Amino acid sequence: MSGPDDLLARTRAVLPSWLAVYYQEPIEIERGEGRHVWDADGRRYLDFFGGILTTMTAHALPEVTKAVSDQAGRIIHSSTLYLNRPMVELAEQIAAVSDIPDAKVFLTTSGTEANDTALLLASSLRRSNQILALRNSYHGRSFSTVAITGNRTWSPTSLSPFQVYYVHGGQQYRSPYAGLSDGEYIAACVTDLNEVLDQAGGDVAALIAEPIQGVGGFTSGPDGLLGAFADVLRERGILWISDEVQTGWGRTGEHFWGWQAHGSTPDIVTFAKGIGNGLSMGGVIARAEVMDCLGANSISTFGGSPLTSAGALANLRYLLDHDLQGNAARHGPTLLDGLRAHGSPIIGDVRGKGLMIGVELVRPGTGSPGEPAPELANAVLEACKRRGLLVGKGGLHGNALRIAPPLTLTAEEAEEGLAILVAAIEEVTP
């Protein structure tokens, strides 16, 4: 079998040049178990990124692998043209935990497709192609979701099927409203929202917002902000789409869904990533009147396939039965408080909730909020890898570490990961 250098060359030869790959010497992850993965050379890593927040419970979770194996032995695929028991059972379970009244669920293959569907529902119901989104946001890589992404790093084209208006509120650290109290910050963002709506004219279809921005570097506004936005939207008949692709399923510890920290209920919720624990699964939850608004026929060839639905249902049941939301609440503070207490001159901000933590790195001595230091983020990523820890990075400037272990993380693993992070930060500090 060829080595990583040969595999990298083959990757570059046959796959698009715009596919990012981590590390100066990329690794091939060959297998995983629990919170650990092994590369092709047999080296073990503590995984604090979970395939971009996708391995939600654990690698090779026996309950999921058994459900997938059993289903594969019966039938792998049929499409939505036929009755599909695993899909219905999963949709019933999701509706039950959704906290959305009169909920219906549509299953997709990804978060991008889920957000596409939410935009289709909102624009069809409202008969409008005007969309509100947060600055610094990310909602997918398709033509429509790139169009509403407020982070230039992930927007390769200015062409769009939507008229998009970006509002403040996605982050506080580098906001023009930084330094305000939470209440003052919310008031300022609501004023901005009203001004944007007044200038937009016509009927805006929806606001789409991540409760905590993922690719944006795990940034957010204060609790209650999206609820304050919802009050304004409701007066104007505008829908609220909560993008829970990264914040859903209890990752924040304090709530099952990120939107529940904001005191109001969205009209549409999108999800993906963690529900499948690595299987290609996403979806949309909405009130029946919203979900059923489309007037044309539709099907899904792969969304909600028997195989992925069986695995996702086993994964969700495991999460609920073992109170993994509570586990995130217990062990998240070890990382969050530990990183805040470190006091490194290259740490500009430590933020997040539960097991969703962002660390923004800055060049020391450059004031507040500090000049972004993407080179230091890359260096910490490499230093963590050498010490056996995998983390992610993001942010508009590529200078934020993204820390999101599987939700079965143990106390010992939290302490181990924190020690490695601190050592890596100290190593690269000028």
The 10s digit of each residue's pLDDT in 283-325 is 999 999 999 999 999 999 999 999 999 999 999 999 999 999 9
Mode of pairing for the β-strands spanning 392-394 and 29-33: unpaired
Cα gap 363→367, rounded to integer Å: 9
Nearest 10 degrees: Cα torsion 338, 342, 348, 349: 10
CATH 3.40.640.10 domain span(s) along the chain? 65-321
Mode of pairing for the β-strands spanning 268-271 and 239-243: parallel
CATH 3.90.1150.10 domain span(s) along the chain? 4-60+323-428
Assigned token pair, 310: 């069986």
Cα gap 430→74, rounded to integer Å: 58
The reported pLDDT for the residue numbered 1 is: 60
Cα gap 424→24, rounded to integer Å: 16
CATH number among 1.10.150.120, 3.40.640.10, 2.40.50.140, 1.20.1250.20, domain 65-321:
3.40.640.10
Closest CA to 313 of 117, 97, 48, 78: 97
CA distance readout (Å), 233 to 96, 118, 228, 259, 343: 26, 16, 9, 15, 40
CA angle at 186 for the pair 180 and 188, rounded to the nearest 5°: 70
Cα gap 121→142, rounded to integer Å: 16
Question: Would you say 372 and 136 are in contact if contact means Cβ atoms under 8 Å apart?
Answer: no
Question: Would you say 131 and 208 are in contact if contact means Cβ atoms under 8 Å apart?
Answer: yes
The set of residues, in sequence order, having a beta carbon less than 8 Å from that of 81 and lying 6+ positions away, is: 299
CA distance readout (Å), 262 to 1, 230, 299, 325: 52, 9, 34, 18
The reported pLDDT for the residue numbered 292 is: 97
Ramachandran region, residue 429 (left: φ > 0; alpha: ψ -120 to 50; beta: rest): beta
Assigned token pair, 308: 């992925």
Q: Which residue positions in the chain have pLDDT lower than 70?
A: 1
Mode of pairing for the β-strands spanning 206-209 and 239-243: parallel
CATH fold for domain 4-60+323-428? Aspartate Aminotransferase, domain 1 (3.90.1150)
Predicted TM-score (pTM) of this structure: 0.96
Assigned token pair, 87: 């899909």
Cα gap 283→191, rounded to integer Å: 32
Cα gap 91→104, rounded to integer Å: 8
Question: Would you say 138 and 212 are in contact if contact means Cβ atoms under 8 Å apart?
Answer: no
The reported pLDDT for the residue numbered 4 is: 82
Assigned token pair, 349: 């901000």
